[in-house]
Structure 1
Amino acid sequence: MQHPKSESDIASLAASSPSRSPKRAMYYVQSPSRDSHDGDKSSMHATPNFASPVESPYHPSSGRHSRNSSGSRFSGIFRSSSGRKVAGKRNDKGWPECNVIVEEGQYDEFGDEKAYTRRCQALMAVCGFFLLFTVFCLIIWGAGRPFKPEVAVRSLTVNNMYIGSGSDFSGVQTRMLTVNSSLKISVYNPATFYGIHVSATPVNLVYSDVVVATGQLRKYYQHRKSQKIVLVHIEGAKVPLYGAGESLVTTNNAVKVPLTLEFQITSRGDVVGKLVRTKHRKRVSCPLGPEYGEFTKAATADDEIQFVETSSTEVAEVLYPVGKLDKPFFGLVKSEPEKYTSLDGNLTSDRILHFLENNKFPLVTVMTELNSAKVFSSTNKRQVYVFAEADDLKKLTESLQEVAKKFKSEILLVAVDIQEENLAKPFLTLFGLEDSEETVVVAFDYKYNSKYLLESDPTSRNIEGFCSGLVKGTLSPYYKSQPIPDNKNASILTVVGKTFDDLVLNSPKNILLEVHTPWCITCEATSKKVEKLAKHFNGLEDLVFARIDASTNEHPKLQVEDYPTLLFYPATKSDPIKLPTKSGVKDLASLINKKLKSQDRSANDEL
């Protein structure tokens, strides 16, 4: 049996159910009370048990709900119209009275939140993609930047050049220049993963700020890791020179025109299509003329010094800020107290190389293990060496630099720490001073294969005079010599450097001289032969036996290549006769007898 609905039921249905819609199943939820004003500890009311959902107090809810969702979605308390809690009050159907069930939220909010989240995720994905792509492009761009194309001018061939007289378009009389030439340019693309598009500004030949010929490089594409040589035709027909032509001198129908080649080459690499590109520009300014040819020839011959050329006065003044820079100009820049040195006069490759060889070293070169090879290989024929302890060298540095300035390009002045045996001892041994601990000044003139020793105190004034004598050639060569020995009652005389003239060259007798060294292996056997010969020829007035240690004694007239050596000096003192050292004593005695010219009695053949 159906029961009539109350007004509250009708209102509830009207509020929650749309009109003209099919009847849905209704679920009714009663939540426990959350607050109590009368102090009851139990705020929960049991849900009445009704036989049918239609007969229970209803709150419409479309859709399906679990118990958890129902309990969480709806909460409320049964209140009376007066706002006070009524425990047992029921309506006319016996239901507990419930005016309002308070809802905590709306279902539509969940749909809006999901849509908003999806939009945010999509936006973040798009932003992340663009960010990663941008970073990728930047990495590729940065990786491509260092690969700058290398541009080099290979050659300029002038097919025709003619200078004549004429007039310009306004009728002004002037010299006219006609040029027909071809230029070869080498372009190398070092990039490993992209090619380049190469283009250039007009290629101009300039004489005294006047463009006398021009050409154009055709734009082309060059593959990665490749080199290409392109040809550019440069032409100029009857170009008026005006005042610039007055300085040209024609000799035998030939004229030297100092031209300058000027152009700018541009390369563009499409790293990632048109999105990421690298672009490089290189300006080429190449002077052409006889001086430049000599400059390049010298640069090719010297692989030790870095050569730099520029046609820009501003750049030249930065590199060489001292003095007036006239074209053509050649200067040397060093990291030394005297930093700038220039070459005056005509520029030829020989003069340039000679200038560099004489000026590339510091005023005073401190010899080390690293630069010793460069010092030894220097082509400077005159070299002065100062051997002293490190502290003494520091005290002499300033005075040595003043001396070096006066003999610049004429003498190579070298300072050596005497405690460095590997560097100092080989030099000092040549003078017999290997054990010296005092300051020693020596010099070499390799042009005459001579050496010199400063025997006075090594003061600044004496060193300057020593260098001056070396340049003028007034120094006396130095020869090593041991102290003069006592040869009284000696069967074999000991000759030293200082007594070589008196005992050998100026002696009226025949001299048999043995030349030996301490390190010679076979010298001892030869010495025994000489002793036997001296004993055999004992008593001959015109025959003297002598020996000299060539390691510690020198003389300009004593030139021996190997040791031991036996030299027979006749009484007439003609050139010495070399005797075989491998011969036996008898054979040597026979040879000596044959060489003796004044002999009162014949030597006994028996020994």
Structure 2
Amino acid sequence: MKTKVLLLLLVALVAYTEAEYVVDMTAAFEENIRIHEIALVKFYAPWCGHCKRLAPEFEEAAGTLIKHDPPVVLADVDCTADSGKGVCSKYGVTGYPTLKIFRHGEVSGEYGGARDADGIVQYMKTLAGPSSKEIKSKKDFEAVLARDESVVVGFFKEKDSALHQAYQKVADKERENYSFYHTHDAEVIEDKKFDDKVVVIRAKKYTNKFEDSEVVFDGAPDDDAIRAFLSKNFFGLVGHRTRDNQKLFDSPLLVAYYDVDYEKNPKGTNYWRNRIMKALKKHAGKIVGAVSSRKRFASEVDDFGFDSGDAPAIGIRDEKFNKYRMEGEFSIENLEKFVKDYLDGKLLPHLKSEKVPEDNDGPVKVAVARNFDDLVLGADKDVLIEFYAPWCGHCKKLAPVLEELGRELEGEDVIVVKMDATANDTPQDFQVQGYPTLYWLPKNAKSSPARYEGGRELKDFVKYIAKHATDELKKYDRSGEKRDAKSEL
């Protein structure tokens, strides 16, 4: 092992100058990344302000982590360079900077830690050791349980059993998502009466009368089967959903938002959780349940339109990101009816929406969630739509340009639309990750909106629309030149 670590360290160090520790992997990424046991890769754009702010922190962390045993390599890829575009596309990079963790050349997961030097070092050090920690004695086992955290434990008398090998593969791949342990200690195995078994042991604080605290995997020694077992059983009937683990919960997902606090108020937290579990018990396997802090998930609470209160606010989000909210006071009976009505397809999705404007005759039409289908998707004209935020400086600067564009296109088969994306739900086909975001929708292909990436001056919009309009514009030819040569834009 020491020889392997030294070789990896030497390979990593040759890529650095005396003062630079971050490896530039923009060129020959696949060849370079696979030689490192573990690496954190930053996908960036040189013009990105967030990337510039992260760069010195990333460099400082790289200098510390390269000395770790085993060494953790920090690398970056310029997504704007010719050799980096394909790499960034392959790994689904849509914003900058994007940080991904790689193990032996394969993506292990998204980076979920702080973005300062100390945070990066601390987060990556926890990932650099063995993916499954060995329990060597009964005392070790008791210490693990005393932490009161849900864990996965493999009990193996034989170190090279087929199940142990499959378990290790899962631990290597899923270590960011679950805490893995294993033991070969005879006393621990005999005491628990588990031999060649993989067991989910849920934290004591989650103990309840509706389900077992220990769940044993009884499938074939296959890593995919073990992974599916963990996905289904780790959190139980109603799991504790946090910012760190939220991506592990499947859909359709029912979430109860209230004052969830297992550190200061576990009894009060479980008071509500047990009632939710009672209502969901008969629907196990049909819907996933979770409890989440109302404060930490304030944006989701706002998306559902819930008011403040002590009792849980209940919402369901399905695979298509449609939202359904439980109306009325919280009760087990009301919750049971809400879940049944959802499963029977009797509920309508909740839309976060402003009121439909009474007057919408301006040069730029106003879309809200409730009129989006009619105004945008149902329009018999091409549509240029802007998703904006009221506080966004770039949006304020663009507003008069779009007003002028709307006036310029009067009489054409094109409409200009704007929508406040902070006050309205945006349809799933429109990815709005920054402001302003603009899309072009041809009138005969509304199901295939195209992201507008052109300039933000009036002439830029006119040239784009003249070229892409379904029907040629009356005032402009396809190149964007006015038909009347004497007129000027």
Amino acid paired to 2:290: V
Deviation at 1:531, TM superposition (A): 1.0
Q: Is the 8 A contact 1:505 1:573 kept in 2?
A: no
Q: Is the 8 A contact 1:299 1:307 kept in 2?
A: no
Query: Who is 2:182 aligned against?
Result: 307
Deviation at 1:496, TM superposition (A): 0.9
Q: SS state of the match for residue 413, structure 1?
A: strand
Query: Who is 2:423 aligned against?
Result: 552
Cα deviations across residues 242-268 of structure 1 (Å, max 9, x unaligned)?
xxxxxxxxxxxxxxxxxxxxxxxxxxx
Please state if 1:517 is matched with 2:389: yes
1:32-43 pair list within 5 angstroms: none
Query: Who is 1:358 aligned against?
Result: 232
Query: Kindly, what percent of the aligned residue pairs are identical?
Result: 21
1:459-498 pair list within 5 angstroms: 459-461=331-333, 463-464=335-336, 479-498=351-370
Q: SS state of the match for residue 396, structure 2?
A: helix
Q: Is the 8 A contact 1:517 1:563 kept in 2?
A: yes
Please state if 1:427 is matched with 2:284: no
Q: Is the 8 A contact 1:425 1:434 kept in 2?
A: no
Cα distance in 1 for partners of 2:360, 2:166 equals 68
1:134-283 pair list within 5 angstroms: none
Q: SS state of the match for residue 359, structure 2?
A: coil
Amino acid paired to 2:257: F
TM-score scaled by length of structure 2: 0.51
Name which one, 1 or 2, has greater alpha-carbon Rg.
1
Cα deviations across residues 184-215 of structure 1 (Å, max 9, x unaligned)?
xxxxxxxxxxxxxxxxxxxxxxxxxxxxxxxx
Two-structure CA RMSD over aligned residues (Å)? 4.1
Q: Residue 396 of structure 1: which of 249, 253, 272 is its match?
A: 272
Amino acid paired to 1:350: D
Higher helix share: 2
Q: Is the 8 A contact 1:526 1:581 kept in 2?
A: no
TM-score scaled by length of structure 1: 0.42
Please state if 1:588 is matched with 2:458: no
Q: Which runs of 5+ in 1 are unaligned?
A: 1-283
Aligned length: 306
Cα distance in 2 for partners of 1:548, 1:413 equals 33
Cα distance in 1 for partners of 2:427, 2:271 equals 36
Deviation at 1:375, TM superposition (A): 2.4
Cα distance in 2 for partners of 1:527, 1:318 equals 71
Q: SS state of the match for residue 316, structure 2?
A: strand
Deviation at 1:530, TM superposition (A): 0.9
Deviation at 1:481, TM superposition (A): 2.4
Q: Is the 8 A contact 1:285 1:311 kept in 2?
A: yes
Deviation at 1:354, TM superposition (A): 3.2
Cα distance in 1 for partners of 2:184, 2:343 equals 34
Deviation at 1:480, TM superposition (A): 3.3
Deviation at 1:300, TM superposition (A): 6.1
Please state if 1:348 is matched with 2:222: yes
Amino acid paired to 1:306: Y
Higher strand share: 1
1:429-448 pair list within 5 angstroms: 429=302, 431=303, 433=305, 436-437=308-309, 439-445=312-318, 448=319
Q: Residue 246 of structure 2: which of 376, 381, 396 is its match?
A: 376
Q: Residue 454 of structure 1: which of 293, 306, 325 is its match?
A: 325
Cα distance in 2 for partners of 1:288, 1:567 equals 56
Cα distance in 1 for partners of 2:157, 2:259 equals 51
Q: SS state of the match for residue 181, structure 2?
A: coil
Distance 1:471 1:304, change over 3 A: farther
Deviation at 1:493, TM superposition (A): 1.6
User: Per chain length, whose mean CA-contact separation is higher, i.e. which structure has more relative contact order (CA < 8 Å, sep 6+)?
Assistant: 2
Distance 1:356 1:606, change over 3 A: same
Query: Who is 1:542 aligned against?
Result: 413
Deviation at 1:541, TM superposition (A): 6.1
Q: Is the 8 A contact 2:412 2:473 kept in 1?
A: no
